[in-house]
Amino acid sequence: MKLLEVTIKTLSPIVLTTSSTNGVLIKSVDFISGSVLRGVLAGRFIKEQGLGKLAHEDEDFVNLFFNQLRFVDAYPVANNQRTIPIPQSIQKRKQRIIDSTNFTGTTKEAKEVVDLLAWSDTLVDYKSMKGFATFDADYVYPASIFKSISFHMSRNSNNKQKKGGDRERISGTSLDGVIYNYESIDAGYEFKGYLLGEEDTLDKLIKKLDLVDNRFEGRIGRSKFTGYGQCEFSFGPIEEVESVYPIIDVQSLTDNRIYLRADTPILLETGIASNSQSPLQDIINKFKENNCVIKITKMFANYTTVDGFVSIWGIKRPQVPAIEKGAVFEITSETPWTADMLARLNEYIFNGIGERTEEGFGQLRFWQPQSGNWDIHKNVFSEEQTLQSALCPEVERVATRILMDTLIRKVRKEALRCIQDWRKANRWSAKVAGEKHIFARLESFLGARAMVGFGEYDYSKNKAIFLKECEHAKTVGGVFWKQLNRIKIKLANGREEVLADLLTKEKIDWPYKDLQLTAEEGDKVLQVAKDLKLTLPSFDNDVFFYEFWLWFCRHARKNSKQ
């Protein structure tokens, strides 16, 4: 038997519904089933061969899609490999134990993941793992699939005749106010599946699909005509099955035990059984020899149900019971395994067991439990696969505004502190004559914000006018400037300065120049700026000059003794 790898890359969000979908939220699964893969390739075959509605009369079509090939589920790619459903014997620690010496990860004795098939002791504080992953000697590489939820409004009223036919579609709104949400797999993900069959059969399929560079684009899932479901299908070379999956022979066995895992759900031939071993035992009995007894000695499995939707008929398939993918079991022969028994076992493994094997159901693979433990590897995507997120201009603008507001509030508080310290230091001194007038006049030097566009200001103009007016007031002298010489304020670095000197020095050291954010404020602001890749302005920025002196004058007038 040969193998043909199929890589599916999502070019747009895709919606592959689950059986748990309700009327409001339409959920999506994390993989592309063999049924979907077969349907897409069958549609391409019919189109390229011009079969139309008579495809069922074409001998090649029937043989390829209903008899000779196996269409195996396409699972997410992690660590540059096709993942597998995490075996149900795999469990992970509920809480990650950190190495107290360097805080870089788990200690050798406290690795996170174990395989119960190879574990004889009782475990506490462990729980089962779900999803898809790849495994090596030291790490588990989980696959993370990011999904989005999109809000939609129905435009297909149940009361079309009463409401006036297709008015909803023309108006672009729902007259009944019906809404629903799509959960979709984001664009940019890769999935890998397989086609299994003889070499001449696989070669015939590729030729009749009429591919360009061994690839084509198609649509899968729901809402294929409204922007969802666009994918690229690419095909690798035809390979030996042994190059991807190991084949067990007599020499590779160390004892009479063999471990198998379900790569896809197993549809039961006998329906719901009294226990999960019964239907599998019936299947296993098919590849034993006459006088040999083969039993299932260990098993980790759950029941599930499988359904589907046949778009060409426009109807749902009935739910059927199945053993869930990821089930693992140990089978033991009372006598040594023979070459003939293993040959039949290998044949069943890749042809599938149970019902609807042509759709990829019932695929088994050999599994080797590990007596040691694994760590969970956090970096599951390669550099090429990492999804690059980009900020839209509006998000960047709003984020920058929020960060600036945080710094501006800090400067305004510094202005209040300067006034409060001055009041406290001079609470027994004679009041400054005309305080309100002095600070009102100083505030007037700033003027209104110099607008250069909608919501945009040039604070450098305000700063230049303010300093020019202060120099003019110094030249004129008078009561106003004399009173400014009586006011001392403490800078952020603790040094005191006379206000009149501060406003007219050639090398100006503004009160807020050495202002520091608190640890909590700094951590939050810097973390947000780092996450969004934004550059924070320094406190020398002209906007802080304007805000400080504006609020300095306002706080001074509000706290005036007059």
- Please tell me whether residues 281 and 403 are part of one structural domain: no
Distance CA(200)–CA(206), nearest Å, equals 10
Q: What is the pLDDT of residue 209?
A: 87
What b/e sequence results for 56-88 when a residue is b if at least 16 CB atoms lie within 10 Å of its CB, and e otherwise? eebebbeebbeebbbbbbbbbbbbeebbbbbbb
Helices (H), 143-194: 160-163, 167-171
CA angle 345, 348, 352 (to 5 degrees): 150
Q: What are the tens digits of pLDDT across the range 156-184?
A: 555 544 444 455 555 555 566 567 777 88
CB 83 within 8 A of CB 133: yes
Q: What is the pLDDT of residue 170?
A: 56
Residue 255 pLDDT grade (very low, low, confident, very high; cuts 50, 70, 90): confident
Q: Note whether residue 530 is domain-resident.
A: yes
Q: What are the tens digits of pLDDT across the range 479-522?
A: 888 888 878 877 766 777 788 877 777 656 677 766 666 655 66
Neighbours of 46 (CB within 10 A): 18
Average the pLDDT over 7-29 and give the result: 77
- Please tell me whether residues 404 and 503 are part of one structural domain: yes
Q: What is the pLDDT of residue 338?
A: 82
Q: What is the pLDDT of residue 5?
A: 92
Q: Who has greater pLDDT, 380 or 421?
A: 421
Q: Which of 376, 409, 430 is a domain's end point?
A: 376
How large a percentage of the chain has pLDDT more than 90? 6
Q: Coil, strand, or helix at residue 273?
A: coil
Distance CA(197)–CA(209), nearest Å, equals 16
Most confident of 117-126, 352-361, 443-452, 482-491: 352-361
> pTM of this prediction?
0.61
- Please tell me whether residues 341 and 467 are part of one structural domain: no
Q: What is the pLDDT of residue 145?
A: 81
- Please tell me whether residues 25 and 92 are part of one structural domain: yes
Q: Note whether residue 281 is domain-resident.
A: yes
- Indicate whether 100 pLDDT > 50: no
- Indicate whether 348 pLDDT > 80: yes
Distance CA(366)–CA(294), nearest Å, equals 16
Distance CA(307)–CA(562), nearest Å, equals 82
Most confident of 102-111, 215-224, 370-379, 512-521: 215-224
Q: Coil, strand, or helix at residue 468?
A: helix
Most confident of 227-241, 389-403, 536-550: 227-241
Q: Note whether residue 280 is domain-resident.
A: yes
What b/e sequence results for 421-436 when a residue is b if at least 16 CB atoms lie within 10 Å of its CB, and e otherwise? ebeeeeeeeeebeebe
- Please tell me whether residues 404 and 266 are part of one structural domain: no
Tell me the DSSP string of 405-442: HHHHHHHHHHHHHHHHHHHHHTTTSPPPTTHHHHHHHH
- Please tell me whether residues 431 and 509 are part of one structural domain: yes
Lowest mean pLDDT among 64-68, 105-109, 151-155: 105-109
- Please tell me whether residues 261 and 219 are part of one structural domain: yes
- Please tell me whether residues 217 and 92 are part of one structural domain: yes
Average the pLDDT over 175-201 and give the result: 83
Distance CA(152)–CA(179), nearest Å, equals 6
Average the pLDDT over 90-105 and give the result: 58
The 3-state secondary structure of 212-246 reads: ECCEEEEECCCCCCCCCCEEEEEEEEEEEHHHCCC
Tell me the DSSP string of 94-121: SSPPP-TTTSSS--GGG-SEEEGGG--S
Residue 504, burial from CB neighbour count under 10 angstroms (0-12, 13-18, 19+): middle
Give the CA distances from residue 365 to residues 214, 264, 292, in Å, rounded to whole numbers and listed in that order.
27, 10, 22
Residue 278 pLDDT grade (very low, low, confident, very high; cuts 50, 70, 90): low
Q: How many domains does the chain have?
A: 2
Distance CA(19)–CA(4), nearest Å, equals 29
Q: Who has greater pLDDT, 390 or 318?
A: 318
Tell which phi-psi region holds residue 244, choosing left (phi > 0), alpha (psi between -120 and 50) or beta: alpha
**Which own/partner contact pairs does 217-220 have at CB distance under 8 Å and 24+ positions apart?**
217/11, 218/40, 218/43, 218/44, 220/14, 220/16, 220/32, 220/36, 220/39, 220/40
- Please tell me whether residues 351 and 403 are part of one structural domain: no
Q: Note whether residue 152 is domain-resident.
A: no
Distance CA(431)–CA(561), nearest Å, equals 7
Q: Note whether residue 251 is domain-resident.
A: yes
Q: What is the pLDDT of residue 429?
A: 59
Q: Who has greater pLDDT, 123 or 399?
A: 399
Q: Note whether residue 124 is domain-resident.
A: yes
Q: What is the pLDDT of residue 193?
A: 92
Distance CA(326)–CA(86), nearest Å, equals 6
Q: What is the pLDDT of residue 252?
A: 76
Residue 174, burial from CB neighbour count under 10 angstroms (0-12, 13-18, 19+): middle
Q: Note whether residue 248 is domain-resident.
A: yes
Q: Which of 376, 409, 426 is a domain's end point?
A: 376
- Indicate whether 272 pLDDT > 60: no
Q: What is the pLDDT of residue 336?
A: 83
Taking the CA atoms of 225, 229, 232 and 235 in sequence, report the sign of the dihedral they define. negative
- Please tell me whether residues 271 and 403 are part of one structural domain: no
Q: Note whether residue 196 is domain-resident.
A: yes
- Please tell me whether residues 73 and 191 are part of one structural domain: yes
Q: What type of residue sits at position 55?
A: A
Q: Which of 376, 408, 428 is a domain's end point?
A: 376
- Please tell me whether residues 354 and 466 are part of one structural domain: no
Q: What is the pLDDT of residue 101?
A: 43
Residue 212 pLDDT grade (very low, low, confident, very high; cuts 50, 70, 90): confident
Lowest mean pLDDT among 6-15, 94-103, 111-120: 94-103
- Indicate whether 398 pLDDT > 70: yes
First to last CA, the chain: 98
Structural domain harbouring 322: 2-146+186-376
Residue 233 pLDDT grade (very low, low, confident, very high; cuts 50, 70, 90): very high
Average pLDDT, the chain: 77
